[in-house]
Amino acid sequence: MEKIEENIIKVGGYTGRRMAKDKLFKHVMTFGGLSVIIAISLIFFYLASVVVPIFLPASMDRLENLPAIGTLQDRTVHLTTEEQAEIGVRFTAQGKAYFFNLGDGKARGEAGVTLPEGVTITTFAAGDPSQRKVAYGLSDGRMLVVEQAFKVTFEVDPEDHAKDIRTIAPSLDYPLGGEPLVVDPEGRALKQLSIQHQGDEATAVALTDDGRLVLAAFSSRENMITGEVTTEASHQVLEPVEGEVSQLILEVKQRDLYVIHGGRLVSHYDVMDKSAPSLKQTVALVPENERVTAATILSGGFSLIIGSSKGELTQWFQVRDDDNNNQLTRIRDFKPMQGAVTAIAPEHFRKGFLVGDDKGNLGLYYATSRKLVLTRDTGDQPVRAVGLSPRANAVLVEAADGGIQTARVENDYPEISFHSLWQKVWYESYQEPEYNWQSSAATSDFEPKFSVAPLTFGTLKAAFYAMLVAVPLAVLGAIFAAYFMSPKMRGVVKPSIEIMEALPTVILGFLAGLWLAPFVDNNLAGTLVAIFLLPFSFVITAYLWHLLPKNITDRVPAGWEAAMLIPVIIVVIWLSIQIGHPIEAVFFGGDMPHWVSNELGWTYEQRNSLVVGVAMGFAVIPTIFSIAEDAVFSVPKHLTTGSLALGATPWQTLFNVVLLTASPGIFSAIMVGMGRAVGETMIVLMATGNTAVMDLSIFTGFRTLSANIGVEMPEAAVGTTHYRLLFFSALVLFAFTFAVNTVAELIRDRLRRKYSTL
């Protein structure tokens, strides 16, 4: 009796310890599961926190009225600021430049141009905003070029020697000398003027009071010993235009001139060759019932922005036609202003512009994204002049009554809109709208191209071709290994395939890029023949095996038949490669890649989708095979034995019992493999051309979201549009994976419940 009680106590103690372990394990598993959910949620919210700012609307502070700046009777012809938007500049038609604090309007000095005796100012022109050059046209056919200068000095604070006091001293300089330059050799007064000055070269185009269009080119040379600057000039008279000329626009590279005339027409002159300028075309900018009231050229010198008397705003730039000739083309329309456009000012370094109308409205636009960023009401007076700071973080507005208003602007990500991210965009100098990702270039006039559509397409394309290779091989191999293969052979095959998963993908990418891609390129016909022949060779081999005498087939143990396919695979691949070159010689002129490019007109790249599909399929196969094989092998034996006992054949049992029961696991394997393919980076990075194109062809490459992040994240400046869009790419990947896995889990659960009663 005592021994029984002692055993009861021991059993009770064991049961208590086991229950304690079960509770501990339950809490550990719960904690682990919650930790995973929390970690994934934190990743999502971190990605979102970086991405959200690019979709927030721009903001502008309340417009502040500044005290009277200079003489209000003088007409303002140009408004701008220095780099830090601390000092504003007001140029007047009388040759004065007034400097003032942008914060409180306090005067910081003034400067005036020095004119020859008896000469008056007749017109004004502002060069490209980034160059800070302006010019005054004179009554004797000459012009005076002026440059805004802001000298920054630092002095020790007398009250705190550890601090420096920064002082900005504004002034006007004369980059081409203090003497006016001759634009019209005949000495007639200049009515309209346009100038550009970069380095040692300057170009001016003027309309004289007798109606001539004169082109003047200046080249400066500085004597390195004496410091004396000499300027050489050449002059040409341009072909005249019909109607009154309202504006001359010379682009910053001094190659193209646009003359707006007749109220609604623009004539394009090619002035690259200063000795032989030519009129290329004349185009109507607005319908007959409208007129052009303001125009400017965007940063970089490619796009014209045209404002009309009805408030319409359009963008134009040159596009090559089928005959390889440039044609000025209307690219896009913007949301119109409420009144007639009276003033347009471009941003200094981006594709944005500020617009004012005759009803006192202000609009900030961005060209690439076709976006009206924000609007403001400045009052009842028509807007007479507008200006933007170099960093586009401050605006200046002058109304018809002479009052100047200013406001700070937060507009860090105007390039982003649904249109620019996911739809075709007509970029400057492109033949047609395209999907394009190009985040940087070597020139400062570059227009960023931030379409994530080709990257998303490339990601799906990579996954599609990888799954096209991996799913049949992995799933069918898993079914055979789990259901037909002998235990001994399965014990060798399954670990061998699973160990493939440990192979670093960078090695696979390296081999795919440096060995497989050139091999396929040199044996394209043989590779395609092998892909075509291998499935048929399996069927033919199986049929021939079935025809062999039973005394021969019985020598191969059951479950080892698959080993007979190894020599077949080797022979078929070798044979395909051997006959590939004769096939190319007979049907494809000896070079199938060249034939594909020239005869079919398809783009062919050495590192293409075929190479990536094979390499990524090789990487994904172990994942799908392992999970699918476990699912098939885990089908309860009583189901298969019961089916066989009832007279079903092994194949009937496989299709009607095993696959149905294992379908949730097989489906999960495919979804996990797809997730692996979507997120793959190193293989697509090394085995493709990384070109962001949208082409389903198996002979072209692509760029995926993950590869793009891997390539460009190290060079992206923190906080920029480029940087945040890379995080947006990661968020798209995250959302896609989450959605696919969620749907897959719902389907898997439905399949499990449906076939769990078998």
Compute how many other C-beta atoms are within 10 angstroms of the C-beta atom of residue 731: 20
Question: For residue range 28-51, what is the model confidence (pLDDT) as tens digits?
Answer: 888 888 888 898 889 999 999 999
Rounded mean pLDDT, 87-110: 89
- Structurally, how many domains does the chain consist of? 4
- Going by the DSSP 8-state scheme, the letter that residue 34 receives in this structure is H
In a domain, 489, yes or no: yes
pLDDT single digits (tens) 653-674 = 888 888 888 888 888 889 888 8
Q: For position 665, what pLDDT does the model report? A: 87
Query: Do 397 and 472 share a domain, yes or no?
Result: no
| Token code pair at residue 551 | 């005394």
| Contact (Cβ atoms closer than 8 angstroms) between residue 176 and residue 145 | yes
Within a domain: residue 545?
Answer: yes
Segment 519-539 shows an average pLDDT of: 89
Confidence at residue 636, expressed as pLDDT on a 0 to 100 scale: 84
Number of helices (H) and strands (E), helices first, in the chain?
17, 32
* Local confidence band at 54 (pLDDT 50, 70, 90 cut-offs): very high
Q: Which two tokens stand for residue 419?
A: 């249109």
667 and 733 together in one domain: yes
Q: Same domain, yes or no, for 713 and 637? A: yes
176 and 219 together in one domain: yes
**Based on the domain organization, do 206 and 352 belong to the same domain?**
no
State which of 405, 434, 463 marks the end of a domain: 434
Instruction: Give residue-wise pLDDT tens across range 132-180.
Output: 999 999 999 999 999 998 888 877 767 666 677 778 888 888 888 888 9
The reply to whether 266 falls in a domain is no
Does residue 499 share a domain with residue 470?
A: yes
What is the DSSP secondary-structure string of 413-479? -TT--HHHHHS-B--TT-SS-B--EE---SSTT---EE--HHHHHHHHHHHHHHHHHHHHHHHHHHH
Domain edge (last residue) among 180, 215, 245: 245
Encode pLDDT of 666-723 as tens digits: 888 898 888 888 888 888 888 888 888 888 888 988 899 999 998 888 888 898 899 9
Instruction: Please give the pLDDT value at position 664.
Output: 86
Among the residue ranges 46-60, 397-411, 540-554, 574-588, the one predicted with the least confidence is: 540-554
Residues 236-271 have pLDDT tens digits of 999 888 889 999 999 999 999 999 999 999 999 999
Whether the predicted pLDDT of 274 surpasses 90: no
Is 477 inside any structural domain? yes
> What is the pLDDT, as a whole number, of residue 165?
77
Q: Provide the pLDDT for residue 493.
A: 87
CA distance 529 to 516: 16
Q: How many CB atoms lie within 10 A of CB 645?
A: 9
Task: From 400, 434, 468, give the residue that closes a domain.
Answer: 434
pLDDT in tens, 416-465: 989 899 999 999 988 899 999 988 765 666 788 999 999 999 999 999 99
Name the DSSP letter for residue 562.
G
Q: What is the dihedral of CA 222, 227, 228, 230, to 10 degrees?
A: 10
- 582 in the same domain as 488: yes
What is the dihedral sign for C-alpha 125, 127, 129, 132? negative
Do both 67 and 49 map to the same domain?
no
Whole domain around residue 192: which residue ranges?
115-245
Q: Could you tell me if residue 443 is inside a domain?
A: no
Q: Are residues 46 and 65 in the same domain?
A: no
The verdict on 639 and 657 lying in the same domain is yes
Whole-angstrom distance, CA of residue 317 vs CA of residue 437: 21
Whole-model pTM: value is 0.86
For residue 709, being part of any structural domain is answered with: yes
Whether 502 and 521 share a structural domain? yes
CATH code, domain carrying 631: 1.10.3720.10
Residue 276 lies in a domain: no
Burial class for 749, CB neighbours closer than 10 Å (0-12, 13-18, 19+): exposed
Distance between CA atoms of residues 218 and 201, nearest Å: 6
Do 88 and 24 share a structural domain?
A: no
> Model confidence over 299-308: pLDDT tens digits?
988 999 999 9
Query: Is residue 469 very low, low, confident or very high in pLDDT (cuts 50, 70, 90)?
Result: very high
pLDDT bracket for residue 296 (50, 70, 90): very high
Asked, for residue 252, whether it belongs to a domain, the answer is: no
- Lowest-confidence range among 14-18, 66-70, 304-308, 742-746? 14-18
**What pLDDT shows up at residue 4?**
61
